Amino acid sequence: MPVSGETAAAGDAGASSTAARGTGVRGPAAGDAEAPGPAAPDAGQTTVLHRLDGGVSWITLDRPEAMNALTWDQRERVIALLAEASADPAVRAVVLTATGRGFCAGADLRGAPAPARERVAGDVARTIRLGAQRLIAAVLDCEKPVIAAVNGTAAGIGAHLAFACDLVLAADTAVFIEVFVRRGLVPDGGGAYLLPRLVGPHRAKELMFFGDALPAAEAERIGLVNRAVPPDELPALAAEWAGRLAAGPTRALALTKQLVNASADSDRSTAFAAEAAAQETNMTTRDANEGVASFVERRAPRYRGC
């Protein structure tokens, strides 16, 4: 099977080979998608750590030896955990992070099921839709705010995974790499959708055309990262921000996320109508009434997430 991005210390990782070397087996050409199939038992559970602490769902990629290059099993596990976070009232915020010196060095297809036949037209598009795009959509559609705590290199789909999050914190030693061009590939996993909306088309094209490593400090300067901090301060800052979100009005945050995510694709009248509808929906929640009552009574609000 094709193996994604070389996970060397230089961080030159992220997009998979177009064919497996020396096998004659043709696989997906893109660095973030592979045909769905049965995962090894509990494989995702052993390489994706999860804990719920104070209303915060902590999702941690745990393959430091591979700079957390994302396997099929990990991807499916992360998607499942994000769906669970949306549905679980005990979850009020999500933090997505990783162990070791890499956040995610792209896709690693070594754990993907072998193709049953020669690739035909339509296979690559289908596997991208079912693979990387599902992952990015799971982050964007999660009904709880998602913080990326980027501890190290984020390349290819790993960079897009971070950019899809609602807030991005990064160690100041981290780098972001639009690695696809280095492999002669088109960016996938939502990159051409996310980046222009975050930094504008010209800056997005610069990052994607050249594939240069973008240091966290520069990513912060151009708006891709909210804060770049020393590595030893990252966990505490992520916990602080997540704690503040977990104490907030959860449904109002979910509706705000939906409005902001849809804003770039809406005209003014559509956006205004969506805003009014969201406020109408939100005013049926307990937290909205608590917020108004606390203001009138001049006290701190006590939000319950409902």
- Which helix (H) or strand (E) is 136 found in, with range? helix 132-141
Angle at 72 between CA 66 and CA 74, to 5 degrees: 65
- Count the residues in the chain: 306
Q: How far apart are the first and last CA of the chain?
A: 46
3-state helix, strand, coil in the chain (%, to 5): 45, 15, 40
228: helix, coil or strand? Answer: strand
- Which helix (H) or strand (E) is 288 found in, with range? helix 286-296
For the chain, residues with pLDDT lower than 50 are: 1-41
pLDDT at 50: 98
pLDDT at 229: 98
pLDDT at 108: 87
pTM: 0.85
Exposed, middle or buried: residue 296 (CB in 10 Å: 0-12, 13-18, 19+)?
A: exposed
Angle at 254 between CA 130 and CA 56, to 5 degrees: 85
Q: How far apart are CA 103 and CA 85, in angstroms?
A: 21
pLDDT at 236: 98
Task: Taking each helix axis as running N to C, give the angle between helix 132-141 and helix 72-87, from 0 to 180 degrees, rounded to the nearest 10.
Answer: 20
275: helix, coil or strand? Answer: helix
| Helix and strand numbers, DSSP H then E, in the chain | 12, 10
**147 forms bridges with which residues in the sheet?**
95, 167
pLDDT at 119: 80
pLDDT at 127: 87
pLDDT at 43: 65
The CA–CA distances, whole Å, from 180 to 3, 47, 56, 143, 153 equal 14, 25, 33, 30, 15
pLDDT at 11: 38
At position 174, the amino acid (one-letter code) is: A
Q: How far apart are CA 270 and CA 119, in angstroms?
A: 42
Q: Which residue has the tokens 């038992």?
A: 41
Put residue 275 in one of left, alpha, beta given phi > 0 → left and psi -120 to 50 → alpha: alpha
